[in-house]
Chain A
Amino acid sequence: MKKFNRTYVMGGLCLALSAWIVWQTGQVPTRLVAREPGPRFFPYISAAGIALFAILSMIFDGPKEAKNGNKPYLDKAGWIRLGVIMAETVVFALGMKYLGFWITSMAGMFMFIWTLKGKKKINLLFAILLCVGVGSLCYFGFTQGFHIPLPKGELWDAIGITMP
């Protein structure tokens, strides 16, 4: 994988962010302002700060990084693993939305266990029981015990099934 100077990439991204902030801030309404700087002042300051320190970092840290070289953050396998775990978090979130927290917590927790175990062997029955236990305890503890709502799943609502 071709090495790139991370500081310069970071700086470029931050400069783009700064420009975007300035553009968006210009659209903020400024009604009700009573002899004070108004709601645009501090976003402009944050944009200026981001731009300034992005540039300074590129000027001072960039050459240092170029001189000292940098280890790749992750190897190829590492990037794949990162992608997998982040994709799983997205799947978990979507599961919560459509299948509800109860089912997703059990299945999702098992998914995380299976991924995080790596090459280790696990007791399948124990893992399943743990997932069912933790998921059910969380779900029923919060919804029935504390009356704090957790997602029941839009899919079940759509097909007329009432989840507990």
Chain B
Amino acid sequence: MKKFLAVLLVSILCLALAVPAMADAWKAGDTVYFHVNAKAGGGTDLYTRYLTQALGEVCPGVNFVVNNYETSEVGMATVINAKPDGYNLGTCHGGAIIQWYTGSSNINLKDQAKIVGIMNLGGPQAIIAGPNAPYKNFTELAEYLKANPGYVMIGCSLGGTTQMIFTSFVEAIAGDKDLAMYVQCASEADKLTNVASGSIDIANCSIPNALSYEADGRLTILGTIGPKMSTIASMSELLGTELGSQYASGPEQGVESATWDSNYYVYAPAGTPDEVCQAINEAICKASEAASFVEGNKAMATFVAPVNFEDTQAAFTTEWEFLDGLVTGLGLKTR
């Protein structure tokens, strides 16, 4: 009986200590709104839903609601204009930084928001070409680019993240970003159809789609570009399927700088107190270790890892400065 009481007392003590630590950000019974600056069903929306589902597991009793906004600007403005009490959060990726610099957006995340956490570390994308492309890997592509300057047509979102990715990529493999011609091709659907039909030469797409189209003989895979941690081994583990050598990353193909580190962030209004931000970050870190969250991101071929508040700030600043340089280099900077 004494032993039982002792165990019970210790359990109650542990619970008493644990519950405040987890519930610091929010209390049971509260509703937290995640405002996604994109339509329902897209990448950002799905990542956010995985996150809110996991947060619901690690913060029992707290209700997490996802609101979508057709207009990205309206979604972000809703967050930055909300009360800085930790109950209205937004999710976005580095594209928001690019939009600020190119003048497509009036929202400056650096000044008008506080980055409280990293939702995921991004994932690798396959670089695809048509089935009869005269190049099969990055080296051959680089040679072809140099031999035919301005000829190879790369489909990307002009003024957006993928143009930044590809200009950086072409610079890395061939030494000059202007060796390729960049044309508008924004959605994954357009990229797949236009590359498969030969309307454009190169684009990027998710690895699951790349696998599917490649197996059907509709595409050639030249390699992958993604976070530095992307290797054939790590990507195979992420996707749960053995990838062939054609999915080798830039560093694996001898081009160390052919990588792209871009995170998905969670942000709060600028005036949110640091202790609230810290608490939210802790909740996000716990959620990113939840099985459902890890599995969900695996299904979308995205890397996840808990990143503490200080490292989150550092990562955002690094990405901000990197994109600043890229946008300036392309002559697109308006601010």
B183 at the interface (CB under 8 A from A): yes
A32: B residues at CB distance < 8 A: 158-159, 332
**Whole-angstrom distance between the Cβ of B255 and the nearest chain A Cβ:** 25
Nearest-CB residue, chain A, relative to B153:
A34
Interface size, A (range): under 10
B332: A residues at CB distance < 8 A: 31-32
B183: A residues at CB distance < 8 A: 34
Interface string of A122-164 (1 = CB under 8 A from B): 0000000000000000000000000111000000000000000
B184: A residues at CB distance < 8 A: 34
B182 at the interface (CB under 8 A from A): yes
B233 at the interface (CB under 8 A from A): no
Are B65 and A34 in contact, CB atoms less than 8 angstroms apart?
no
Are A31 and B182 in contact, CB atoms less than 8 angstroms apart?
no
Are B182 and A34 in contact, CB atoms less than 8 angstroms apart?
yes
Are A34 and B67 in contact, CB atoms less than 8 angstroms apart?
no
A147: B residues at CB distance < 8 A: 65, 67
A29 to B33, CA, bound (A): 36
**Whole-angstrom distance between the Cβ of A55 and the nearest chain B Cβ:** 34
Given known contacts A32-B332, A34-B181, A34-B184, is B67 in contact with A149 (CB within 8 Å)? yes
A147 to B177, CA, bound (A): 47
Interface string of A14-49 (1 = CB under 8 A from B): 000000000000000101101100000000000000
**Whole-angstrom distance between the Cβ of A21 and the nearest chain B Cβ:** 21
A148 to B65, CA, bound (A): 9
Are A31 and B159 in contact, CB atoms less than 8 angstroms apart?
yes
Nearest-CB residue, chain B, relative to A149:
B67
A147 to B65, CA, bound (A): 7
A149 to B36, CA, bound (A): 13
A149 to B331, CA, bound (A): 40
Nearest-CB residue, chain A, relative to B68:
A148
A147 to B331, CA, bound (A): 43
* CB-contact partner of A34 in B33, B103, B158, B331, under 8 A: B158
Nearest-CB residue, chain A, relative to B184:
A34
A149 to B181, CA, bound (A): 44
A33 to B159, CA, bound (A): 10
B158: A residues at CB distance < 8 A: 32, 34
A32 to B103, CA, bound (A): 13
Nearest-CB residue, chain B, relative to A147:
B65
A34: B residues at CB distance < 8 A: 158, 181-184
B67: A residues at CB distance < 8 A: 147-149
CB neighbors of A among B321-335 (8 A): 331-332
A35: B residues at CB distance < 8 A: 181
Nearest-CB residue, chain A, relative to B78:
A149
B103: A residues at CB distance < 8 A: 29
CB neighbors of A among B124-168 (8 A): 158-159
**Whole-angstrom distance between the Cβ of A100 and the nearest chain B Cβ:** 17
A12 to B65, CA, bound (A): 50
CB neighbors of B among A69-127 (8 A): none
A52 to B331, CA, bound (A): 38
**Whole-angstrom distance between the Cβ of B172 and the nearest chain A Cβ:** 21
**Whole-angstrom distance between the Cβ of B20 and the nearest chain A Cβ:** 25
Nearest-CB residue, chain B, relative to A29:
B103
A31: B residues at CB distance < 8 A: 159, 331-332
B181: A residues at CB distance < 8 A: 34-35
**Whole-angstrom distance between the Cβ of B10 and the nearest chain A Cβ:** 39
Interface string of B34-75 (1 = CB under 8 A from A): 000000000000000000000000000000010100000000
**Whole-angstrom distance between the Cβ of B123 and the nearest chain A Cβ:** 26
Nearest-CB residue, chain A, relative to B102:
A31
A32 to B156, CA, bound (A): 12
**Whole-angstrom distance between the Cβ of A106 and the nearest chain B Cβ:** 24
Q: Which residues of B contact A (CB under 8 A)?
A: 33, 65, 67, 103, 158-159, 181-184, 331-332
Question: 18 A-B residue contacts at CB 8 Å?
Answer: A29-B103, A31-B159, A31-B331, A31-B332, A32-B158, A32-B159, A32-B332, A34-B158, A34-B181, A34-B182, A34-B183, A34-B184, A35-B181, A147-B65, A147-B67, A148-B67, A149-B33, A149-B67
Nearest first, the 10 A-B pairs at minimum CB distance are A147-B65, A32-B158, A32-B159, A34-B183, A149-B67, A34-B182, A31-B332, A34-B181, A32-B332, A34-B158
New contact pairs (6) apart from A32-B158, A32-B159, A32-B332, CB-CB < 8 Å: A31-B331, A34-B158, A34-B184, A35-B181, A147-B65, A149-B33
